[in-house]
């Protein structure tokens, strides 16, 4: 199967018909339309090429299931080395840490109550020089167990979204979460992190973002979007989609969380439109 056929197969599996793809020629000739960029304290307009996804002729039906066939790579285990310093540093210190120290401090963090229930912290994974950063909410059961973000069914969909975009886990893409420990309720079921848990963990993600300095951030779901953009907790994801926001100078595109997409198939085509916006934003920023 060629790369294009695989991509078509994945988009097909995302429930997208007709198959949508970007056309470079279309992007080049399109008018530049103003896109609203929202910073936490300011609102500016920039020019980002806006292209409607272009329907293509559907390729021959894929013979293999893109879901079933594409088992993500075996998850790496997070080394649980003995702490050099188990003392969690204040945010100002975190802001100066390199990768190794940051990983170590995160793995020993006791800044909030989530540390009591974790099997291990889930730091993040991928290319430390990635131009793409994907941010989720927090580890679930599988991630807590394996020490890697997005390794369950939602992770499989995320991997397929990557392939649709011409990306691959670990190559030019970094995956992180808002919180590094699994939040659970009284019944040991996954739950979203509280505002206090997010606040306690944010300095770590902020440092990861500063070290990576990605071209584009994709916020996966409500918790990621609202925490990164510091917005009112009542803001629905649907209000944030279709607009390029900013975290510092970095464009942020908001889309649905893969776990939500697994439950709400009808929104997969919207998620693909979001990824198209992210790709256009990436191209515009890379080309200066």
Q: With binding defined as CB under 6 A, does residue 143 bind ligand URA?
A: yes
In which element (H, E) is residue 37 found?
strand 32-38
**For residues 123 and 109, is the Cβ–Cβ distance under 8 A?**
no
Residues with Cβ within 8 Å of residue 25, at least 6 apart in sequence: none
**Region near ligand URA per CB under 6 A, out of 31-39, 132-140, 193-201, 279-287:** 132-140
71/66 Cα distance (integer angstroms): 9
Instruction: Report the residue from 13, 137, 144, 274 that binds ligand URA according to the rule CB under 6 A.
Output: 137
- Per CB under 6 A, 126 contacts ligand URA: no
Position 159 contacts ligand URA (CB under 6 A) = no
| Contact window for ligand URA (CB under 6 A) among 15-23, 146-154, 206-214, 248-256 | 146-154
The residue range among 39-47, 77-85, 139-147, 245-253 that interacts with ligand URA, by the rule CB under 6 A, is 139-147
Locate all alpha helices (DSSP H) within 89-221, ordered by sequence.
Answer: 91-94, 99-107, 141-146, 153-164, 195-212
- Measured at CB, which residue is nearest to ligand URA? 136
Question: E-strand spans in 65-195?
Answer: 125-126, 132-136, 173-177
Whether the CA torsion 126, 132, 138, 143 is positive or negative: it is negative
Q: Is 75 in the site for ligand URA (CB under 6 A)?
A: no
Work out how close the CB of 169 gets to ligand URA at its nearest, in angstroms, rounded to a whole number: 12
Please count the other Cβ atoms lying within 10 Å of the Cβ belonging to residue 232. Answer: 7
140 near ligand URA, judged by CB under 6 A: yes
Q: Does 144 help bind ligand URA (rule: CB under 6 A)? A: no
Of 149 and 214, CB closest to ligand URA: 149
Query: Least distance in Å: CB of 140 to ligand URA?
Result: 4
The helix or strand, by DSSP H or E, that contains position 48, with its residue range, turns out to be strand 43-49
Under the binding rule (CB under 6 A), the answer on residue 214 touching ligand URA is no
When the beta carbons of 149 and 203 are compared against ligand URA, the nearer one is 149
The partner residues of 217 in beta bridges, in order of sequence, read: 133, 252
Instruction: Kindly indicate which of the ranges 70-78, 133-141, 163-171, 247-255 contains the residues binding ligand URA, using the contact rule CB under 6 A.
Output: 133-141
In total, the chain counts a number of residues equal to 288
Selected binder of ligand URA within 49, 75, 136, 203 (CB under 6 A): 136
H helix runs in 165-267, sequence order? 195-212, 222-229, 237-240, 258-263
Q: Which of 149, 193, 214, 251 binds ligand URA (CB under 6 A)?
A: 149
Contact footprint for ligand URA (CB under 6 A): 136-140, 143, 149-150, 154, 177, 259
């Amino acid at each position: 199967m060629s790369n294009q056929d695989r991509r078509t197969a994945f988009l097909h599996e995302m429930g997208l018909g007709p198959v949508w793809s970007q056309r470079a020629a279309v992007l080049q000739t399109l008018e530049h339309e103003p896109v609203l960029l929202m910073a936490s304290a300011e609102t500016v307009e920039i020019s980002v090429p806006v292209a409607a996804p272009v329907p293509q002729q559907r390729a021959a039906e894929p013979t293999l299931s893109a879901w079933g066939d594409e088992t993500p790579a075996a998850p790496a285990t997070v080394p649980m080395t003995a702490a050099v310093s188990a003392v969690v540093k204040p945010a100002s210190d975190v802001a100066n840490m390199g990768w190794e120290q940051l990983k170590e401090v995160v793995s020993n963090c006791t800044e909030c109550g989530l540390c009591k229930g974790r099997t291990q912290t889930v730091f993040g994974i991928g290319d430390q020089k990635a131009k793409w950063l994907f941010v989720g909410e927090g580890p679930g059961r599988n991630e807590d167990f394996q020490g890697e973000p997005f390794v369950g069914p939602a992770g499989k969909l995320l991997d397929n979204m990557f392939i649709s975009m011409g990306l691959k886990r670990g190559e030019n893409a970094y995956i992180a979460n808002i919180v590094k420990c699994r939040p659970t309720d009284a019944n040991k079921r996954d739950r979203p992190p509280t505002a206090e848990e997010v606040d306690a963990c944010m300095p770590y993600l902020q440092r990861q973002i500063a070290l990576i300095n990605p071209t584009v951030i994709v916020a996966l779901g409500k918790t990621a979007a609202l925490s990164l953009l510091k917005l009112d907790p009542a803001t629905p994801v649907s209000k944030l989609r279709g607009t390029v926001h900013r975290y510092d100078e970095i464009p942020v595109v908001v889309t649905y969380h893969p776990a939500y997409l697994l439950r709400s198939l009808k929104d997969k085509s919207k998620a693909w439109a979001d990824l198209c916006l992210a790709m256009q934003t990436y191209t515009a920023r890379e080309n200066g």
